[in-house]
């Protein structure tokens, strides 16, 4: 097993695990309840971590991670091509009409 990501929040770790699963990569979250001890131990020990089940998935997992982080860093808004509604850039579907952005 190999650690590929240290998350600030539990939800970030689970979002990444979900993304990896969509790519056919098995991974698990460790330390999800440990953030209360941050300050007593080094942060990268206490924060939620994503570990790959199979080291052979590392290259593909890194690609998923890069895409995931790029998406999380996206800011601003996107205009729906169907209804012209403004959506946050992180949305994949228009909140108004449901069309893919
Ligand atoms: Zn729309």
The answer to whether the CB of 42 falls within 8 A of the CB of 90 is no
pLDDT at res. 36:
61
- pLDDT values of the chain reduced to their tens digit, one per residue, 101 residues: 999 999 888 888 999 999 999 999 999 999 887 656 556 666 566 789 999 999 999 999 999 999 988 887 878 888 999 999 998 888 889 999 999 98
In degrees and rounded to multiples of 5, residue 2 shows phi and psi of -140, 135
Look at the pTM and tell me if it is higher than 0.95: no
pLDDT at res. 75:
80
Residues with CB under 5 A from ligand 1 (ion): 80, 82-83, 85, 94, 96-97, 99
Q: Find the 52 Cα to ligand 1 centroid distance in Å.
A: 37
pLDDT at res. 17:
96
Rounded to an integer, what distance in angstroms lies between the CA atom of residue 88 and that of residue 44?
A: 30
């Amino acid at each position: 097993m190999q650690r590929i990501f240290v998350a600030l929040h539990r939800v970030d770790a689970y979002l990444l695990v979900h993304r990896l699963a969509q790519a056919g990569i098995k991974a698990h979250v460790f330390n999800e309840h440990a953030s209360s001890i941050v300050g007593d131990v080094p942060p990268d020990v206490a924060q939620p971590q994503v570990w790959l089940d199979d080291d052979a998935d590392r290259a593909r997992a890194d690609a998923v991670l890069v895409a995931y982080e790029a998406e999380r860093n996206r800011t601003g808004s996107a205009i729906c091509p169907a209804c012209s509604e403004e959506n946050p850039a992180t949305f994949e579907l228009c909140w108004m009409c449901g069309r893919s952005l």
